[in-house]
């Protein structure tokens, strides 16, 4: 069982002819993801990956021809907002945007529109999704995961990889791994993802990887207290970051005494989550649950 994507997900790749788009399309295909189409205006009618994937000029034509129900976006930042909107208008219910550097004002406009259309967005500036043994929609290395019962949700791309690998090395597996991205305006957050894991009968444990900045982790702690029945192991990155300094992600900034690692850890521990002191401890805590 999984959340968001599985072996039956039909994926269209927007920006498929670019270097990143083509490379990761090949990697997703090798993993077994059902890549049914690509989109690049002006390239409609062509094929890529040794004739395996047809290219369409628009997302709507790709959806009409192939039944795609998920889009992954490898479009440059200046065009990515319109690419997300195009996918939504074509009836795609799940959009994964890998692109980084999208202006906050643009994402505010996009998020408002997606909420009205009831379209789920993962990202932007994220590594995407991995359901081990079924599908990967993004850039998470497929070989580091294995099917299992641990759901992973993370704001940090690199830490996502490290933790998945550590869990696998301990003989445990993952149901679905969700990289939500660290931009201040994004799609699905901790709350929505935790709710999906709570509803998934094959997810028994959850790993939450947060970082300094914002209040998403504190809100997740409230959800854990009020509604979650499954055990959570958490880690907060940026514990040594100086106040007022942006560290990595656009959303990882602490101002006015809020969004600190200490406050997030305190909230999560109060909610009953087991909080790791460093990433290497996460697998050990999971094994003890």
| Residue whose C-alpha is closest to residue 35's, from 90, 176, 79, 27 | 27
Catalytic entry in 19, 186, 249, 278: 249
Sheet order of strands, 128-131 included = 135-138, 128-131, 174-179, 147-154, 205-211, 232-237, 274-275
Three-state DSSP class for 141? Answer: coil
Residue 112: CB partners within 8 Å, gap ≥ 6? Answer: none
Buried b (16+ CB within 10 A) or exposed e, 16-42: bbbeebbebbbbbbebebbbbbbbbee
Annotated catalytic residue 24: no
Residue 266: CB partners within 8 Å, gap ≥ 6? Answer: none
In whole angstroms, give the CA distance from residue 127 to residue 177. 10
Which residues are known catalytic residues? 249
């Amino acid at each position: 069982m999984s959340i968001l994507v599985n072996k039956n997900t039909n994926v269209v790749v927007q920006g498929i002819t670019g270097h990143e788009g083509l490379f990761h399309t090949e990697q997703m295909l090798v993993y077994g993801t059902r890549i049914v189409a690509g989109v690049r205006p002006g390239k409609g009618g062509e094929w890529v990956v040794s004739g395996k994937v047809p290219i369409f000029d628009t997302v709507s034509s790709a959806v009409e021809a192939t039944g795609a129900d998920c889009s992954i976006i490898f479009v440059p930042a200046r065009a990515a907002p319109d690419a997300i909107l195009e996918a939504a208008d074509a009836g795609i219910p799940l959009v994964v945007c890998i692109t980084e550097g999208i202006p906050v004002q643009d994402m505010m406009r996009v998020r408002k529109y997606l909420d009205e259309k009831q379209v789920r967005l993962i990202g932007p500036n994220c590594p995407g999704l991995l359901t081990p043994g079924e599908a990967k929609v993004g850039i998470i290395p497929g070989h580091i995961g294995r099917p299992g019962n641990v759901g992973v949700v993370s704001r940090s791309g690199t830490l996502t990889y490290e933790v998945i690998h550590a869990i696998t090395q301990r003989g445990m597996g993952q149901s679905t791994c969700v990289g939500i991205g660290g931009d201040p305006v994004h799609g699905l957050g901790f709350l929505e993802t935790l709710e999906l894991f709570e509803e998934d009968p094959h997810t028994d444990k959850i790993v939450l990887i947060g970082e300094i900045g914002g209040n998403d982790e504190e809100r997740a702690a409230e959800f854990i207290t009020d509604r979650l029945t499954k055990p959570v192991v958490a880690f907060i990155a940026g514990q040594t970051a100086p106040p007022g300094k942006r560290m990595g992600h656009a959303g990882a900034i602490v101002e006015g005494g809020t969004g600190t690692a200490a406050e997030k850890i305190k909230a999560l521990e109060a909610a009953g989550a087991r909080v790791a002191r460093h990433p290497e401890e996460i697998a050990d805590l999971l094994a003890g649950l």
